A and B are shown apart, each in its own frame.
Chain A
């Protein structure tokens, strides 16, 4: 569905991604693991068009038998239109917009009002708290509620590929479990996912496959099961001995 081929990205003068390649297959959840500064967020921001790679291609297609398109030089709003939704680091809810407006802004590009309302009901059914307080300013919600809102907002664009940047960041463990259960459910409903996760245990548990990044390069990749057994991964990320 998505294949990144050897992208090199600079942020200002800093050389951040030094040739990253990875693949996301239909229906899978793929996790990007790695320490701070490894380039995980930069990778996601490059996919969604906020950053442009100096070199390399990002090939994407919505359906298996469609033609692949290089989206590496396309504006973010066009990428959203192609079915990629990016739930940003730190959630990024619009704190001055109401809960309902936040969800509706997620469906900004969609014109099919009945379908949008159907998705609104679906999101509210997943996260009942959002339905209870549609007019509350999003900034006054708790961190966990804001995460649910950010996730709901991403679903409102009806994505085929959902990109998540640290959904567990700053959340209490029971909320992390709840969010990850929800992600698994969204995945079984047909949404492919690419997930950046600092919490490698949770990330490997949820994902089918994973890549480990270190200072701008992929150093390991494989199925979650293999990686979870890998000694180096255990030592570096899973708190193993």
Chain B
């Protein structure tokens, strides 16, 4: 096993990790503010992928604009999901919210099958993004570089927004104590909506990345990445944005290294590996790597 091969696997792991991280952030932000896992979050990835496909390959919109549209669609979906499934449930027991978001997920998947059929569609990035760059023994496509860099830029932007702006301050205050946030004059409905929009826009753009990375998309595409990104969020400590990013990269890297470094016979077990990692982490660190102690946050 050469050093070049390992380096290549590391790069692949970083690319996959960027995509997990982007989706995991949304899980964490939404959990952080309303203490609910949005099971429909993975389906926003799917919708982002189809919007990309439609605009880029059917309508022929230039790619940078498509990326903006994927972000915007993700944000819009987040708002719709919040208004439709979460706001009416506010104050209801947690289980109700979980079930509501599961219902939204099943609805979106079946709506997708109804409108788009279950037939997988080919999804290709334009040629200039497919060009292969070689650095020593390592090679990657232009789009891979774009995925890694844009994920970094988006994540830095998000952290800046959460830490340094008035909206971010309102989001952190609302996440900590809903009632006291209202006493400060914070409109919590608007703040929660903004949180959904922000978290979901990252899922929307990662739909673009997912589709392009794997070449085929179908309406059930969101399920597995959604589940794995949720695992990433849990590894990092659900509720924490840096935790979600860290968890995403750890998961992406370890998954790729698992497949790449072990004999090929094991690669069919990659998902089993991911979920065993989750069980292990939950046993050893129930609050994840960067998570706060749950009892403190209750």
Name A's B-contacting residues (CB within 8 A). 48-50, 75-77, 80-81, 85-86, 88, 92, 94-97, 101, 104-106, 108-109, 153, 157
Q: Which residues of A contact B176 (CB under 8 A)?
A: 94-97
CB-based contact B185/A94 at 8 Å? no
| Shortest Cβ gap from A45 to chain B (Å) | 8
Q: Which of B135-193 contact A (CB under 8 A)?
A: 166, 169-170, 172-173, 176-177, 179-180, 182-187
Nearest chain B residue, comparing its CB with the CB of A138: B176
Complex formed: what's the CA distance from A171 to B187 in Å?
31
Complex formed: what's the CA distance from A80 to B182 in Å?
9
> 10 A-B pairs, CB-CB below 8 angstroms?
A50-B183, A76-B185, A88-B180, A94-B172, A94-B176, A96-B172, A97-B173, A106-B184, A108-B186, A153-B184
Complex formed: what's the CA distance from A108 to B183 in Å?
10
CB-based contact B166/A108 at 8 Å? yes
**How many of B's residues come within 8 Å of A, CB to CB?**
15
Complex formed: what's the CA distance from A95 to B183 in Å?
16
CB-based contact B173/A105 at 8 Å? yes
| Shortest Cβ gap from A152 to chain B (Å) | 13
Complex formed: what's the CA distance from A108 to B184 in Å?
7
Given A94-B177, A97-B172, A108-B170, A50–B182 Cβ distance below 8 Å? yes
Nearest chain A residue, comparing its CB with the CB of B178: A50
Nearest chain A residue, comparing its CB with the CB of B170: A108
- The one of A85, A105, A106 in contact with B170, judged by C-beta atoms closer than 8 angstroms, is A105
| Shortest Cβ gap from B10 to chain A (Å) | 34
| Shortest Cβ gap from B182 to chain A (Å) | 4
Given A50-B179, A88-B179, A92-B177, A97–B169 Cβ distance below 8 Å? yes
* Further 8 A-B residue pairs, CB within 8 A, beyond A92-B180, A108-B169: A75-B182, A80-B185, A94-B173, A94-B177, A97-B169, A104-B169, A105-B170, A153-B184
| Shortest Cβ gap from A18 to chain B (Å) | 23
| Shortest Cβ gap from B218 to chain A (Å) | 41
CB-based contact B183/A88 at 8 Å? yes
| Shortest Cβ gap from B187 to chain A (Å) | 5
Nearest chain B residue, comparing its CB with the CB of A86: B183
Nearest chain B residue, comparing its CB with the CB of A78: B185
Complex formed: what's the CA distance from A218 to B8 in Å?
75
| Shortest Cβ gap from A38 to chain B (Å) | 20
